[in-house]
A and B are shown apart, each in its own frame.
Chain A
Amino acid sequence: MTAITHHISDDLLDAYVTGNLAQAFSVVVAAHLSLCDACRARAGAAEMLGGALLERVAPAAMSSGAKDRLLAALDDTPPPAPVARSGIFPAPVMQALGGQPPKWRMLGGGIRQQILSADSDGALRLLYIPPGRAVPEHSHGGLELTLVLQGSFSDSEGRFGVGDVETAGDETDHQPVAGAGCPCICLAATDAPLRFRAMLPRLLQPLFRI
């Protein structure tokens, strides 16, 4: 595996650590941290700052019964263990998949997707792009984070291999093309619908929900 060269930006990582990053993007960040020791260490440093802030806050007294209530609950059955990683999918992706393998839907041109969640805050999907195939050229009304889980893709911003994450914004207008060899599988989060260049994908957009 080649080294990861495209990481999470400082402000997105801080937003993740402080709980201020929308769910779809947080899943992508957590998946990247599963693959990238450098960013996990950065997140660890940001969490130390959270701990230091917690240490210095002026305490608010707990009510008198709180301790007994807590002690009484210690022997309750512990919650079930969270969903674990499976194959190429890190734990946060398996969690979003509900613990099941992906159920791909054909998008045409051999491209497949599974939408993992979609609400007013953003959408999260898995994409499957056959080797050498291109995603229709598009720009973004907002932020798009794309993490490669298998294979690779290239576009005007560079080459993205396993673990790399592309951060695309308003100004990015790109056409990702999957590398040769194995199909490219990636996890993509967006907070606004993509804008396609060509007429045909625009007509198909409501159908694809991309």
Chain B
Amino acid sequence: MKVLNKPVDMIAVFYSSGRVEPVRFRYDDTPVKVDRVLKRYSEKLAGNRRLCFVCINDGSKVYELKYEVDTQVWYLFKM
């Protein structure tokens, strides 16, 4: 996987329980639907909180999305 850390437009669900679910994002003008979240964790490197989602599409394409809490920006981190 390659590290991109590219800001992306995102549609996500923020549940009242506090859970966050990425649903659909735009990559190079192509909409991509998130098939399945394999793993979720949060990181606090350098005090900067990010929610991380390891996702998979078409059964084999693994990529990583990150939501930066302070700036409220979604990133396509790795692909």
Query: Are both chains from one complex?
Result: no
Residues of chain B whose beta carbon lies under 8 Å from any beta carbon of chain A: none
Residues of chain A whose beta carbon lies under 8 Å from any beta carbon of chain B: none
